[in-house]
Amino acid sequence: MSDDTCLFCKIVSGSTAAAIVNEDEHTLTFLDHRPLFPGHCLLVPKEHFETLTDLPPASVAPLFQKAQQLSRAVEAAMGAEGTFVAMNNRVSQSVPHLHIHIVPRKRKDGLKGFFWPRTRYKEQAEMVEVAKLIAKNIEQQINSSS
């Protein structure tokens, strides 16, 4: 399944050019046209899924196995000390097609951790309550899928 209006679907189909890095049965990897650093790759599933939550469970392993492989390859190819692997779901997602950024990193490369301000919980009780809410939702998801 693809979306005729989606830029990444057009890249997957070959109707829009991109610097292709790798392709397999499930995924396509290409260089970001506005990289944080040279070697910044975008990994996409070939089928159109907008977010990680839309991705079928059977497709999760192939996608993340490829992300793991690309992380090693980008690090080695670019002489990097590590990689930054990231994904946005809707908010800050410039193209509404699931994609994973794999960015080569070096210490003191100018990239400051996460790109947004960090905060703290007001108190330990708030942190515990948030953890409980998330855990409860996971339990509900597990129960509704069985």
Q: Output the domain CATH number for residue 54.
A: 3.30.428.10
Active-site entry in 40, 48, 97, 99? 99
124, part of any domain: no
Look up the domain containing 111 and give its range: 7-117
24, part of any domain: yes
101, part of any domain: yes
Locate tokens 């990689």: which residue? Answer: 83
Is the model's pLDDT at 115 over the cut of 70? Answer: no
* pLDDT band at residue 139 under the 50/70/90 scheme: confident
135, part of any domain: no
Q: By mean pLDDT, which of 6-20, 52-66, 101-115 is the weakest?
A: 101-115
144: DSSP letter: H
82, part of any domain: yes
33, part of any domain: yes
What pLDDT does residue 128 have? 84
79, part of any domain: yes
In angstroms, the CA 16 to CA 84 distance is 26
Q: Which residues of 8-36 are buried (b: 16+ CB within 10 A; e: fewer)?
A: bbbbbeeeeebeebeeeebbbbbebeeeb
Number of independent structural domains in the chain: 1
Residue 99 known to be catalytic? yes
122, part of any domain: no
